[in-house]
Structure 1
Amino acid sequence: MLEYKAGWYGREVIAVDRWYPSSKTCSSCGALVEKLPLDVREWACRGCGAAHDRDVNAARNILAAGLAVSACGDGVRPPRS
């Protein structure tokens, strides 16, 4: 249904890997947190000190991953530091 509607409006649907750690990756510097329990809604990056809301951070990372796939092709992930 999403692909049908996207085609109707001239858009593209890009599926991001369901196991991509979008919540645990800092959208500012790319640092990865090893453990981030589901009850933790806000966290600060140990690499750069940026404060993150879990859902907003995940949305930024998913957008970046989708844009990378759109620009460079499938199998591309944003770089991690």
Structure 2
Amino acid sequence: MRAILAALLLLFAALVGVLELVALLDPVGTKMADDGDPFGDPRRSWATYVPSAMLILASIAGATALLRGFRKGGSNVR
């Protein structure tokens, strides 16, 4: 069960990390997708760095938990 949760954490962090990378590379295009205020100011760069750093940490945590499960023999059933 722990390995499944670790894999889901890693997968979720990787997918959202790709979206944050797009927001870093094209902040104006990302802002245009905001239906509430499409022509407003895009997010500041630091407002994108913080979630990106949190996603990197979540990816590391998921990968670490997943690798620890494989090192123990791949089965976390007790």
TM bucket (normalised to shorter chain) is 0.3 to 0.5
- Specify which structure has the bigger relative contact order, considering alpha-carbon pairs within 8 angstroms and separated by 6 or more residues: 2
TM-score where L is the length of structure 1: 0.34
User: Which is richer in helix?
Assistant: 2
More strand by share: 1
Q: TM-score, normalised by structure 2?
A: 0.35
Of structures 1 and 2, the larger Rg is shown by 2
